[in-house]
Amino acid sequence: MPRPVPVLEGRIVTLRPLDPERDAPDYYEMNLDPEMHLWTNNHVLGSPEEARRELERYAAMDDVTMWAIIDNASGRLVGRFFVCLEDRGGVRVAGEGNRIAKPFWRRGHNREARRLVFEYVFGALGADHVETECWAENVNSRESLKAHGFTLVQEAPHFNHKHQKMIQKLLFRLSREQWREWAAAQAGAGERLV
């Protein structure tokens, strides 16, 4: 994946490379909320030092581009976003995932972060599709993906270790064309595109 990680600037958020030392206190605080981990393999971090180590591990991943999501009003880290790109027989597919601190849910931070990243992924990286997964019972993620123009392409039962039961796992896909249509609709609705 591209290095250095590019800075992506928006009105509400700026996405910049992770800085484990600087970001650890905010990342630790963000991860204290157990609801942040309900549908992930993550857990509440034990200390700012553990947060720093996790961020160092993410920053060192060569096959992933990871950003810190910074709230422009406060200058604080409020989330993280990653993409990884693979070639599937000539089709460039980007996987993505993000986490936003609960106090920033439904305030536009995730929407703008996705817009910035997808502009980069479809433009600079030349991806044909973006794919992501979520559990069917994770209503927040499922509805957010639909609201961003993703299409459900696969549904299959998987064992969820955290919940100790079989749950439907959903695979969503967004093509470059769907992205353009979604972005045009947002611009037509008066939303500022960055």
CA dist 156 and 52 (Å) reads: 35
Q: What is the pLDDT of residue 1?
A: 54
- Amino acid 193: pLDDT: 40
Extract the tokens encoding 171. Answer: 């695979």
| This prediction's pTM | 0.89
The pLDDT of residue 190 = 58
Long-range contacts of 55-61 (CB under 8 A, 24+ apart): 55/18, 55/19, 55/20, 55/23, 55/24, 55/27, 56/20, 58/18, 58/82, 59/17, 59/18, 59/20
> How high is the pLDDT of residue 85?
94
The answer for 149, left when phi > 0, alpha when psi is -120 to 50, beta otherwise, is left
Query: What residues in the chain have per-residue pLDDT under 70?
Result: 1-3, 37-38, 189-194
Q: Tell me, what's the pLDDT at 187?
A: 77
Q: What is the per-residue pLDDT for 38? A: 66
pLDDT at 156: 95
pLDDT score at 168: 93
Q: Where do the domains of the chain lie?
A: 8-188
The CATH architecture assigned to 8-188 reads: 3-Layer(aba) Sandwich (3.40)
